[in-house]
Amino acid sequence: MTRGNQRDNDRAKAQKKANATKGKNTQTGSQFQKSKEDAASIMREKQRKADEKKAAETAGGKK
């Protein structure tokens, strides 16, 4: 009988731990906005480099 009880206790403990860490936002609004802008600028730079590479391949293939 104790095994079943221990299993239930472990499940409850694991559920409590999962709920405690779920969805916490530790950034303020301005920090969150800055991190979004930083990520967006990185992605724009990646896209620009990919476009340049694609244009170079297209130009090189036509010669």
Q: What are the CA-CA distances from residue 41 to residues 28, 35, 37, 44, 46 (Å)?
A: 20, 10, 6, 5, 9
Q: How does the average pLDDT of the chain come out, rounded?
A: 87
Answer whether 0.85 is exceeded by the pTM. no
pLDDT in tens, 14-38: 998 888 776 777 888 899 999 999 9
5 pLDDT more than 60 = yes
Question: Do residues 32 and 25 make contact, with C-beta atoms less than 8 angstroms apart?
Answer: yes
Give the helix/strand (H/E) hosting 28: none
The answer to whether 41 and 34 are in contact (CB under 8 A) is: no
pLDDT of residue 2: 59
Q: Which residue's structure tokens are 């090189």? A: 60
